[in-house]
Structure 1
């Protein structure tokens, strides 16, 4: 992970996204201490912002993410996913150690606002990022796009503080799981690139990408001349 993080920095990434997949109970199920040690190594090895996500299992993340927050005390990382099942445990740990929270809710604007309201009872709104999920399958692109767009519109039009946080689109992993993206490299790059641009237009502020060529494509496309 440390070498990959450095490589991402060399390739021009604006931030590094570290997913602690080894902590997944359905997989290797590595310990919280192991994950925290690795997270600290990566954080100390790079000079750009670091985003850290747990496995997505809310119970295991409630063990892992507080340890990660403690190990990286004061480094001002973006850590998640903070979910309705673990927001108090994880949120308070992030606050105590000077980090930001990525609040995850499943493609539903009411659940999104509900989680943010609960989190904001003790966590600063300006340190929260919204993760509304970015589905490549199931709900599909149209639903993901519409939801992000609506979140932004509500924030701007009604001045709803619970929808005015930045949005993170965790799309890279989902894109490369699809059959179409796996058929050949060019198709995969187009799949990820088109998804990224679509969600960017919908209002996403942070894009999680997998392929460096997609990164170059997005940077060129959005470059202000």
Structure 2
């Protein structure tokens, strides 16, 4: 009799233990850690895609408007101040020429987030050679940098020269980067601009998706607990009835 009771108690405890452990295993297995984001857009180096003055250009305006289009956001407040120090204009004698660095506010003008304009503070000399230097310290909002310094040499024309002048600048002529990763990154930056001070990202969307996949469904979890309690209650009642019958006999 005692052996039978001991076996029943052991059986009930085993079933109870299995029921209580099972929900944990089921819900813990929902997340497989297979996030789809590869972060390649962020890892790609910063590149100069287009410039209004090409290397060795001649007959350039004495008041050039040097428009530089990059493949990433280089004007965000996080990098703007440091990036302004990455440009230097020198004459043929190596003397520095004072310049102005123009950057749009990417919170207001998102289309200009990858564009920087360099212009001399005053008119340049006629028929003179100049070199625009761009340091490889130039950094995008994503943290990407130029792989090397960039130098653009050009020669000015006369006072009548208009090549690469401000009058030729077309604010609507934004160079679009055809790279898919960069488009995703830029799109992500735009979404975050609308929410929390222009902070990207497609990665955030992917992380949220993964988090949602791994979240435990409260309704399903409660249902499992109720079933476990009901099973235990049935087993206890059954054991009580069996015990009474056995004692009567």
TM-score between the two structures when normalised by the length of structure 1:
0.21
TM-score between the two structures when normalised by the length of structure 2:
0.20
The structure that has the greater radius of gyration is 2
Comparing both structures, which one devotes a greater share of its residues to helix? 1
Comparing both structures, which one devotes a greater share of its residues to strand? 2
